[in-house]
Amino acid sequence: MALSGFAKASLFLSSYIPLWAILILFHWSDWGWWLVVPFIALAGGWCGLVILWHWVVTGSREEISVDYAMRQDSDSVAYIVTYIFPFLTLVITSALEAVGVLALFLTVMLVYVSSDMLYVNPILAAFGWHAHAIHTKGGTELVLLTKRRLIRAGLVLRAVRLGDTIWWERDSTGA
């Protein structure tokens, strides 16, 4: 599905929105024009989420028959400690250090996207969204973003597909 790459990139960038905001606050006076980098990343994360939400609101929903589901939100604390804290103490004094930090960030991105950790997103959690690993009656495994805290076996959900394994349920009422 064409949106899959965009959806993954948007979810990744948006998961770092808190980091971009903190970096801007911490380095407002000492990064000079380099501050434009976290500003662009911050804006890109928000724009990506807005576009994804538009896709969810206007996209056609498909049925998902749940065999069993497991909530995936518990990884959020590990995510914050592992992926956000190391970047908070950054002091970049040369172009070489900036390249090194960029390489580290790209490595984290590759791990995050390739291991389908896209559901670990503090911004989505702040807005009440939960991620569930769903196993369908047809044997498919997928990640569902939803407002539901619990998904029971046998439930039939209606959600918009964002990619091969990423789905977003617009609301939990079935409307």
Q: What is the pLDDT of residue 137?
A: 92
Q: What is the pLDDT of residue 30?
A: 78
Summarised one tens digit per residue, pLDDT across range 102-143 is: 787 788 778 777 776 666 788 888 888 888 999 999 999 998
Summarised one tens digit per residue, pLDDT across range 74-94 is: 666 666 666 666 666 667 777
Domain annotation covers residue 173: no
Whether residue 10 has pLDDT greater than 70: yes
Overall pTM surpassing 0.85 (yes/no): no
Q: What is the pLDDT of residue 156?
A: 94
Domain annotation covers residue 39: yes
Domain annotation covers residue 174: no
Structural domain that includes position 54: 3-168
Total domains in the fold of the chain: 1
CA torsion sign for 130, 75, 25, 45 is negative
Whether residue 27 has pLDDT greater than 80: no
Domain annotation covers residue 175: no
Mean pLDDT score across all residues of the chain: 81
Whether residue 1 has pLDDT greater than 60: no
Domain annotation covers residue 35: yes
Q: In the predicted model, what is the mean pLDDT of residues 20-42?
A: 80
Identity of the highest mean pLDDT range in 8-12, 37-41, 81-85, 140-144: 140-144
Q: What is the pLDDT of residue 2?
A: 44
